[in-house]
Amino acid sequence: MVILKKIKASTLMETLIATVLIMVIFMVASMILNNLFSNSIKNNTRTITAKLNEIEYLYINDKIVLPYYDDYESWLISFETSSNSIVNIKATNEKTNKIIEKEISKK
């Protein structure tokens, strides 16, 4: 017959403390990840950049006339001439007050 070795077990208090520590670590990690994800969503400007590129393309190919104003999702887009050959494109987000500006020249 095989003799089993006795394994030392932890007490109930040690188990509870370890569980609480693990829960605290997971809570802090989830709050950090939540903050990172929300900031990445707020600072995402891919859709408005694509829209501005589309408007720029239309202007270069004489498909729109200036001044041009548009609302796109939560962005206000203005497309105006500033001098003889320079055109300003400005997009302002209504929610976050973020501004994207661009200058182009028609050749």
User: Helices in the chain by DSSP H: which ranges?
Assistant: 12-42, 46-60
Q: Where are the domains of the chain?
A: 13-43, 46-105
CA angle 55, 103, 53 (to 5 degrees): 25
Q: How many CB atoms lie within 10 A of CB 75?
A: 20
How would you class 91 by CB atoms within 10 Å of its CB: exposed for 0-12, middle for 13-18, buried for 19 or more? Answer: buried
Does position 83 have pLDDT exceeding 90, yes or no?
A: no
Q: What is the pTM of this model?
A: 0.64
pLDDT in tens, 33-77: 999 998 888 888 888 999 999 988 998 888 988 888 999 888 999
Task: Check residues 105 and 24 and name the one with the higher pLDDT.
Answer: 24
User: Which residue type, as a one-letter code, is found at position 65?
Assistant: V
Task: Check residues 95 and 30 and name the one with the higher pLDDT.
Answer: 30
The DSSP result for 59-79, as a single string, is HHTT-S-SSEEEEETTEEEEE
For 31, the 3-state DSSP assignment is helix
